[in-house]
Amino acid sequence: MTALTLSTAGAATLRADALVVGVAKSPKGGKGPVVAPGAEAVDSAFGGKLGAVLESLGATGAEGEVTKLPAPAGLKVPVVLAVGLGSAPEKGESFDPDALRRAAGSAARALSGSKKAGFALPVEDASDVTAIAEGALLGAYAFTAYQGGEKTGKGKNDNGGAKLPLGEIAVLGAKPRDKAHKAAAERAQVVATEVNIARDLINTPPNDLNPESFAAVATAAGKENGIKVQVLDEKALAKGGYGGILGVGKGSEAPPRLVKLAYTHPKATKTLAFVGKGITYDSGGISLKPAGHNETMKCDMSGAAAVFSAVVSAAKLGLEVNITGWLALAENMPSGSATRPGDVLRMYSGKTVEVLNTDAEGRLVLADALTRASEEKPDAIVDVATLTGAMVMALGNRTFGIMANDDAFRTSIHEIAEEVGEASWPMPLPADLRKGMDSPTADIANMGERMGGGLVAGLFLQEFVGEGITWAHVDIAGPAFHEGAPYGYTPKGGTGSAVRTLVRLAERTAAGDLG
Ligand code: BES
Ligand code: MN
Ligand code: ZN
């Protein structure tokens, strides 16, 4: 795991493999890129000509741009890496922390294979320390567990040519003795580590990560972090009447699980419930997905991974709030024992659901978990799920949708997501879409109108939330799994979407900032 320090050394004295500096596009009317604050000592070592050197190398300061140059004498590093920050702020304004987060991520990725780098980016306050540390730690991620195991007698670290992530990040310009800066770095270390653990879970192939092994991971993490973990296996689920989770899991050789993670703080006055969709593989079931739509469906447990990592983060940070995490785990497979389109399931709530499409399985496992979570009367419930392709159509691959039964709560989650640098957008729950789910046989069908499919799914879930409980639904089907080239601190594969939003929500609730 990548180490993080707040360096007491300045850029001129730090010994490392590289120094990272920021370069921004010059403000309107200005010429050439401008070197960002934090890089003064590096600029001096270049005789005050770093900006000119960068310009002659073609650097513009555009976001994500990375320029490597040999360090001049006077610095204790061989390489200087200039990373683009986008537009320079107006006079008197500061760099956007999220631009710093993304730039630190780009730099950390460009430095994979290196042991240590100093980050000399602009630091004005603790939120900049958080952004730089988080971005660098999230950029320094690689999933290599399944590479380099070939029995050829090659070295242990031969991971098929992929480089190991940057080993150590030293943040310059932060003050190690400043309480706020220190706390920001410690928090960033916890949160980034947990986001990276969520990514690992998502990236783990579905022949290794199934409901049982995911539950075992949660049990072990619970022991380590003082979180009470209860696992309902298929027998307990049958005894409890969890028809939704069982109905989805029936087709698989790997039976389903419902995991409860209870983190409590003795001084807590509020309790949050986080519910995660944990389909360890979504083949579609009998309504089988065609080729081209199932290759990445190991990612269908990203909601459960986010919930798991958020609860562990809260425990590690010792937040003054109670959080119950619910992981609704099942594998959606076709087989002779699988649920058929046309089957009716009796859910944990007692409601019956006609399954018209076995590929609309997420809402079935979530429904049971939402009803169960509601029994404990939390102050609010947030579910996180890779629920619908329709949400990806609506918002694209980088933005998650938020629906809620409470406008103020939906707005809060949207604002919190923005604060931590996760793209999101509020979505409605139009009541007229409910009738599309009317079933001639059961209380409700698991499918409705195709248009607005993401909202239809939200309306379905709403029916399983306990009376009077504030609830929000976060559909991360777009951003959970990144198939394109890496950018900023976002790698290929699992992204850990929604972990940072959930952690911040927990912090804000602990601080009494919310209702
Ligand atoms: N897991 C999928 C949704 C999904 C799609 C996640 C793309 C990530 C990327 C979900 O279970 C699903 O199959 N939803 C169906 C619902 C439909 C049958 C009503 C969909 O969106 O097509
Ligand atoms: Mn599905
Ligand atoms: Zn699914």
Which pLDDT tens digit goes with each residue over 168-203?
999 999 988 999 999 999 999 999 999 999 999 999
Mutate to test the pocket of ligand 1, among 388, 397, 460, 475 (most ligand atoms within 8 A of CB): 388
The length of the chain, given as a count of residues: 515
Higher pLDDT, 94 or 163: 94
Residue 133 sits at φ, ψ, to 5 deg, of -65, -45
- Whether residue 359 is predicted with pLDDT greater than 70 in this model: the reply is yes
Band (pLDDT 50/70/90 cuts) for residue 158 is low
d(CA 379, CA 268): 12
Query: How high does pLDDT run on average in the chain?
Result: 96
83 close to 66: Cβ distance less than 8 angstroms: yes
Q: How far is CA 308 from the centre of its chain?
A: 11
Nearest-CA residue for ligand 1 atom 22 is 389
**Which-ligand-closest: CA of 284?**
2
Atom of ligand 1 minimally distant from the CA of 362: 11
What separation in Å is there between the alpha carbon of 445 and the centre of ligand 2? Answer: 15
- Whether residue 148 is predicted with pLDDT greater than 90 in this model: the reply is no
Which residues, including other chains, have CB under 8 Å from residue 497's CB and lie 6 or more apart? 302, 306, 400, 422, 476, 479, 480
The answer to whether 363 is a known catalytic residue is yes
What separation in Å is there between the alpha carbon of 208 and the centre of ligand 3? Answer: 18
Active-site position among 25, 116, 270, 363: 363
d(CA 349, CA 367): 8
- Whether residue 159 is predicted with pLDDT greater than 80 in this model: the reply is no
H or E stretch at 50: helix 50-56
| Confidence at residue 457, expressed as pLDDT on a 0 to 100 scale | 99
Domain 194-510 listed as CATH 3.40.80.10: no
DSSP conformational letter for 431: G
Helix 97-110 vs helix 126-139: crossing angle, to nearest 10: 30
Higher pLDDT, 157 or 59: 59
35 close to 54: Cβ distance less than 8 angstroms: yes
The answer to whether 289 is a known catalytic residue is yes
Domain 3-174 listed as CATH 3.40.220.10: yes
- pTM, to two decimals: 0.97
Pocket of ligand 1 (CB under 6 A): 282, 300, 357, 359-362, 386-390, 392, 447, 453, 477
Burial code (b: 16+ CB inside 10 Å, e: under 16) for 345-360 equals: bbbbbebebbbbebbb
- Whether residue 161 is predicted with pLDDT greater than 80 in this model: the reply is no
**Which-ligand-closest: CA of 476?**
1
In the chain, where the domains are located: 3-174, 194-510
Atom of ligand 1 minimally distant from the CA of 447: 19
Tell me which residues have their CB within 5 A of the ion that is ligand 2. 282, 359, 361
d(CA 410, CA 392): 19
Sign, CA torsion 26/30/33/35:
negative
Active-site position among 289, 351, 398, 508: 289
Nearest-CA residue for ligand 1 atom 3 is 388
Calculate the alpha carbon distances from 465 to 349, 444, 460, 488 in Å: 9, 15, 10, 37
Atom of ligand 1 minimally distant from the CA of 361: 11
Which pLDDT tens digit goes with each residue over 291-332?
999 999 999 999 999 999 999 999 999 999 999 999 999 999
What separation in Å is there between the alpha carbon of 389 and the centre of ligand 3? Answer: 9
What separation in Å is there between the alpha carbon of 288 and the centre of ligand 3? Answer: 11
